[in-house]
Structure 1
Amino acid sequence: MTVRITFRGPEISEHEEQTGKYQQQSFPDLATTSDWIALHIPETERRLVKMWIDDIAITGATLEASIRPIPAP
């Protein structure tokens, strides 16, 4: 499985070329993706995240559920 997301970079950043621009990240699984989003993307910006799992777009309630941190067992 490959999970790919696009998201808007922060308005303020050490790397000026990435400031406010859409960026892309890939992850090996949904749990890693969800954890990364929780740590790096402010909650107010999460509505701008787009996600694909094996090149299938994830949208709506499925996307919302996918970007929440997955509780540890």
Structure 2
Amino acid sequence: MIQTLEDMIRRFCAYGLEFKDSDGFTHDWCTLIPALKLAYKTSIHASTGNTPAMLEKGWNPKLPFDILKKRLS
């Protein structure tokens, strides 16, 4: 996971992307680590057919999209 997270951060920095919150404040890449970690842990991996969260904890965390999708159904 560390190598993948490092690659995600490297790509973010290489393209000079900015992370702005709802108030328009720009943040450093280090503030994105929890979000990048969540993205990694909730992505299905081809080698296992499951997410790392499912393999580690036995359940997948609810994402904001999951809650929104449930409300729209």
Name the TM-score, length of structure 2 as normaliser. Answer: 0.29
More strand by share: 1
> Which structure has the bigger radius of gyration?
2
More helix by share: 2
**Greater RCO, CA 8 A, separation 6+:** 1
Name the TM-score, length of structure 1 as normaliser. Answer: 0.29
